[in-house]
Structure 1
Amino acid sequence: MPEKKRSGLGRGIGALFSDFESEELNSENVVELPLSEIRPNPYQPRKSFDQAALEELSQSILENGVFQPIVVRKSVSGFQIVVGERRFRASKLAKKTSIPVIIRDLDESQMMEIGVLENLQREDLNPIEEAQAYQTLIEKLHLTQEQISEKLGKSRPYIANYLRLLSLPSKTKNYLMTGKLTMAQARTLLMFKDPARIDAIAQKTVQEGLTVRQLEQLVSRTPAPKKAVFAAQPSPFLQASQEQLIDKLGTKVQITDNKQGKGKIQIDFASTEDLNRILELLDISLN
């Protein structure tokens, strides 16, 4: 009985890509497939491709061909790209009819993990695409932030800070995706609670070129809600505790106190899946 192929899950990104590299050195494993039979990876985290860079790659392919085969897997109808969508798109742009490929025997989970992690390794995603890639790994593959950080060699707070960006309203997300807002500016905007207010301040930031420091000053001048019972600004100790919870949970957290030894902790979540993620981080089981 043939040995069962080991799943790529949990093996680490280096091991997965070393497999590709070793197989690409063996020309017998490279075949030519019609572009018409190949479909993009549905879990591709990159939603936008730089057109100028694609045209430059297209011209290179037109003159020299595709040096590095793309990696695909057999699907119900044709083939799906695992790694190499830029080369695929550039080949179509160059009016090519086929492309060299390596066909891998991968299941849905393996294709997702390799496709997402490979793009994250390249570090050319915009912040929202990167955040959505982390969320995909959490929701679809049930990886924790700690597991993702280990696979990518990034700190867990780094992962958590990107996930927080997903709670931004759509207009502000678009500014971030197109490079009109920086990561630091977007994180500062998260200090505002009202989505309409965030979008308004984001637009003001883009139009007037506000710095992070100026945004922080805007936050400090924002009046507390009229019905607030607790103090608007926590003590330095509570502020530090609040920041640690934000980094640990990857979401907005507010700690307030009434200066009488009592207070409250408010933890925001964006969806049922997000709540389950937070409960897991707090080691709370509802089973």
Structure 2
Amino acid sequence: MVLKKTKGGLGKGLGSFGLTGTFKDGHKGGYEVDITKIQPNPNQPRKRFTEDDMTTLVESITKHGLIAPIAVRKVEDHYEIVAGERRWRACQLAGLSKIPVVVRDYTTEEVSEIALVENLQRQNLDPMEEAFGYQYLMDTFKKTQEEIAAIVGRSRSYIANMVRLTQLPECIQEDLIEGELTVGQARPLLALKSEELQRGALAIIKEKELNARQIEQLVKTLQAGKKKLASTQPKATAELRKLMQRLKHSLGAPVDIRLKNTKKIQGTIEVTFKNEEELMRLISYIEGE
């Protein structure tokens, strides 16, 4: 197996783990394993894999097979993926029964670091996956923000700001996941002390399509108590949050229920979709087809 050296990289980079480069001789550096014997890393920071994201890769694997093996480690009676979960999933969609692998001897901590670096290098993570990935390293392996910064090639302040996103209400986190809100738009909301203010500010942001600078000014105004949240819906009760979770589970998509400030129960239900396929699926579901 001959590896090509790569210039630059992200933090330590995958090269420090021996995982960069291409395999000149196909998968002769490893061997084939029954695809059912391979399991994903349960602490993989990337939580969402869609078929749309992998269409081109599936077509390539169907035509040419998997050229570069995935990296795995032996865990009891199966193999756990170290790097290459997206390729493994694409191989499943392509109908492969066996997949080329190279076996590495890594600790659980190293596997977590590799998974985070690999996804960041390929820009596969949404902001919340990235934030919770850093939080996992801090909570589980007692990594400091300085150590994580060195691993991923970021500044300590960047890591600190990303981790703080985990303190935001679920509705704002969902908007970050779906790309409805940028990190620059969401970060100023952390300065607001209550979820009620944060949710109210979010409603105004969406209603007026505010940019990051405008949101910073909105937050300052709210902190000074100079603005009433006319657009703020009543604070979500535990019952309402459970109802939103039920709808999210049934529809397979994020749901937000917004109530009006009236004596009668009135409001709107917002369902988020990210492509035409999801829209048509939701329409079919609603129509009962």
TM-score after normalising by structure 1: 0.68
> d(CA) in 1 for partners of 2:14 and 2:58?
28
Deviates more, 1:99-108 or 1:157-166: 99-108
SS where residue 191 of structure 2 aligns?
A: coil
- Any idea what SS the aligned residue of 1:102 has? strand
Q: Equivalents in 2 of 1:127, 1:58: separation in Å? A: 26
8 Å CA contact 1:55–1:93 kept in 2: the answer is no
Work out the CA distance in 1 between the residues paired with 2:208 and 2:178: 17
Q: Equivalent residue for 2:135?
A: 135
TM-superposed CA distance for 1:163, in Å, is 0.9
1:90 Cα deviation after fit? 0.7
Q: Residue 73 of structure 1 contacts residue 82 of structure 1 at CA under 8 Å; is this kept in 2?
A: yes
CA contact (8 A) 2:188 2:215 kept: yes
Q: Residue in 2 aligned with 1:81?
A: 81
Give 1:165-180 correspondences, 5 Å limit. 165-180=165-180
Tell me the secondary structure at the aligned position of residue 163 of structure 1.
helix
How many residues of Structure 1 are paired with residues of Structure 2 in the alignment?
215
1:62 aligns to 2:69 (yes or no): no
Show the counterpart of 1:222: 222
Question: Hey, what does 2:198 align to over in structure 1?
Answer: 198
Tell me the distance in 1 between the aligned counterparts of 2:196 and 2:98. 48
Name the counterpart of 1:51.
51
Q: What stretches of structure 1 of length at least 5 have no aligned partner? A: 1-10, 226-287
Between the aligned partners of 2:197 and 2:36, the Cα distance in structure 1 is: 47
The verdict on how the C-alpha distance between 1:101 and 1:223 changes in structure 2, with shifts beyond 3 A counting, is: closer
2:69/2:102 contact within 8 Å kept? yes
| CA apart distance, 1:23 | 9.2
Any conservation in 1 of the 2:12–2:153 contact (CA below 8 Å)? no
Instruction: Give the distance between the partners of 1:133 and 1:223, measured in 2 at CA.
Output: 31
Alpha carbons of structure 1 residues 51 and 205: separation in structure 2 relative to 1, 3 Å? farther
Letter in 2 for 1:134: Y
The CA deviation string for residues 30-85 of structure 1, in whole angstroms up to 9 with x for no partner, is 11111111111111101112431212211111111111110011112311101001
Indicate the RMSD between aligned Cα atoms, in angstroms. 2.3
Q: Are residues 207 and 40 of structure 1, via their aligned partners in 2, closer, same or farther at CA, if it must alter by over 3 Å?
A: farther
Matched residue, 2:105: 105
Asked whether the 8 Å contact 1:24–1:102 carries over to 2, the reply is: no
Measured in 2, the distance between the counterparts of 1:100 and 1:171 equals 41
- Displacement, 1:119? 1.9
Deviation track 1:8-42 (CA, whole Å, cap 9, x = no partner) reads xxx9445434x234795575431111111111111
Q: Specify the SS of the correspondent of 1:20.
A: coil
Q: Which moved more, 1:144-153 or 1:169-178?
A: 144-153
Q: Which amino acid aligns with 1:179?
A: G
> What does 1:1-287 correspond to in 2, within 5 Å?
12-17=12-17, 19-21=18-20, 24=23, 27-222=27-222, 224=224
- Matched residues in 1 for 2:149 and 2:79: separation? 30
Distance 2:92 2:108 in 1: 25
Q: Secondary structure at the match of 2:19?
A: helix
Which amino acid counterpart does residue 162 of structure 2 have in structure 1?
Y
8 A contact 2:14–2:118 mirrored in 1: no
For the structure 1 residues 213 and 22, does the alpha-carbon distance in structure 2 shift closer, same or farther, using more than 3 Å as the test?
Answer: closer
- Does the C-alpha gap of structure 1 residues 223 and 142 become closer, same or farther in structure 2, counting only changes over 3 Å? closer
Corresponding residue SS for 2:111: helix
Shift of the 203–77 alpha-carbon distance from structure 1 to 2, 3 Å rule, reads farther
Determine if contact 1:34/1:98 at 8 Å carries over to the other structure.
yes
Residue identity (%): 39
Distance 1:109 1:223 in 2: 41
| Cα separation, partners in 2 of 1:56 and 1:200, compared to 1, 3 Å | farther
Task: Measure the CA separation in 2 of the matches of 1:22 and 1:120.
Answer: 17
Match in the other structure for 2:282: none
Give, as a single letter, the amino acid of the residue that structure 2 aligns with 1:215.
Answer: I
Give 3-state SS (helix, strand or coil) of 2:101's partner.
strand
Whole-angstrom distance in 2 between the partners of 1:201 and 1:185: 11
Structure 1, residues 222-278: CA drift from partner, whole Å, max 9, x if none? Answer: 2557xxxxxxxxxxxxxxxxxxxxxxxxxxxxxxxxxxxxxxxxxxxxxxxxxxxxx
TM-score (norm 2): 0.68
Point out the more displaced range, 159-168 or 43-52: 43-52
